[in-house]
Amino acid sequence: MTLPLVRTVLQRKGWRLIEAQPMLGGYAATLYRLRVVDEQGQAREAIYKRFDPTRTAELELYRTVLPEVPHAIPALYGIVDEDGEQGLILEAAGVAVKTVFAGEREMLHELVTLLARLHSALAEKSQQWLAEGRASAYPFESSAAWADTALAELTWLAGQERMHLHPQRVDEVRDMAAQFYPRYPEWAVGRTTYTHGDPHLENVLVQAAGQYRLIDWEWACVSLPQRDLSILLQDVLEEELHEFAYDAFQTRLVQQGFAIPDPLAFRRAFRACLFDNTLMMLGWEIGKYRNGFLTESEMERILTAKLRWLHECHRELLT
């Protein structure tokens, strides 16, 4: 029923659906790239995101919280919510930053500035949304579950006897995780705000004019701003850029009025978030490799970098 429902929603706006092409790439939702004509006869490109029935949180956010987010949201063209199907028709807001980012500090500075502006602008609103039940706080228990998934993926990868990943190295990661997760809530403390929850570089789009849009808000919640930064950096494998991004992010937050009374605690929370999200994303990336969406050379480069990050974060937190 997908395309007839999309066509119906567009017709209610006076728009016409011209073409729809499936988008491939291992996405959590089913995506279509659309060509449409609006009520003024102007051609537009759009994306239809059809949700899995078990993962529809983003739909409710577009109805409630996201209209109040001041910037970086793709335009919403329509909502499909009938006949058991739920989805969003959104502006095609550019290309994924991951496809064009080549380690440029200027672009990375723009990205962390985007996050800092978002976090500072929503710090007060986030507390109101929590009180009203329109937003939820980050659930620490979900991190341990993601870690279990990641460890299972690492175990599978070690069993392939590739990339110099031996079972002993997986055991090391398992031991680090066992020490880390009971103390994660102790380290991940500080001022919270409304966060995107998954701003890796495939979820940040850039337009020709240099404007950025954040997509895939499914995991948005009230949490530490450092958590968003730690996820953004998952696609930045050059470690010297991590310190550059961290310093720029902290500076921009303060400039935007987001107080950081204890820089050491802020740093510790960032490293805790980086450990957690590195392990989580490593599991996700191994799954993409297993399903043919990453090459072996890409996976080996990711694995080498992220195992090193895990060790460094663990050492910094526990010494």
Nearest of 144, 211, 153, 155 to residue 183 by alpha carbon? 144
Query: What digits encode the pLDDT tens for the residues 257-304?
Result: 999 999 999 999 999 999 999 999 999 999 999 999 999 999 999 999
Claim to verify: residue 134 and residue 64 sit in the same structural domain: no
pLDDT at 95 over 60: yes
pLDDT grade for 25, boundaries at 50, 70 and 90: confident
pLDDT grade for 1, boundaries at 50, 70 and 90: low
Claim to verify: residue 115 and residue 246 sit in the same structural domain: yes
User: What is the C-alpha separation between 5 and 11, in angstroms, rounded?
Assistant: 10
Claim to verify: residue 164 and residue 254 sit in the same structural domain: yes
Claim to verify: residue 63 and residue 157 sit in the same structural domain: no
Domain boundary among 92, 115, 133: 92
Claim to verify: residue 45 and residue 102 sit in the same structural domain: no
Range of the structural domain that residue 34 is part of: 2-92
- In terms of phi and psi (left: phi > 0; alpha: psi -120 to 50; beta: otherwise), the region of 87 is beta
User: What is the C-alpha separation between 302 and 139, in angstroms, rounded?
Assistant: 27
Q: How many CB atoms lie within 10 A of CB 166?
A: 11
The number of folded domains in the chain is: 2
List the Cα angle 96/307/277 in 5-degree steps: 50
Claim to verify: residue 79 and residue 122 sit in the same structural domain: no
Domain boundary among 39, 65, 92: 92
Q: What pLDDT does 319 receive?
A: 83
Query: What digits encode the pLDDT tens for the residues 115-148?
Result: 999 999 999 999 999 999 999 999 887 899 999 9
Share of the chain above pLDDT 70, in %: 100
Task: Name every residue whose Cβ is closer than 8 Å to that of residue 145 and which is 6 or more positions away in sequence.
Answer: none
User: What is the C-alpha separation between 287 and 302, in angstroms, rounded?
Assistant: 13
- Structural contact between residues 75 and 90, judged by C-beta atoms closer than 8 angstroms: yes
- Could you tell me the two tokens for 22? 């499936």
Claim to verify: residue 188 and residue 273 sit in the same structural domain: yes
Q: What pLDDT does 170 receive?
A: 97
Claim to verify: residue 260 and residue 158 sit in the same structural domain: yes
The string of DSSP codes covering 135-179 is S-B--HHHHHHHHHHHHHHHHHHHHTT-TT--HHHHHHHHHHHHH
Claim to verify: residue 69 and residue 100 sit in the same structural domain: no
Nearest of 193, 183, 192, 202 to residue 281 by alpha carbon? 202
Query: What digits encode the pLDDT tens for the residues 167-182?
Result: 999 999 999 999 999 9
User: What is the C-alpha separation between 94 and 180, in angstroms, rounded?
Assistant: 38
pLDDT at 16 over 70: yes
Claim to verify: residue 112 and residue 232 sit in the same structural domain: yes
- Structural contact between residues 238 and 279, judged by C-beta atoms closer than 8 angstroms: no
Domain boundary among 27, 61, 92: 92
Q: Which residues pair with 35 in a beta bridge?
A: 19, 45
User: What is the C-alpha separation between 97 and 216, in angstroms, rounded?
Assistant: 14
- CATH, residue 132: 3.90.1200.10
Claim to verify: residue 166 and residue 308 sit in the same structural domain: yes
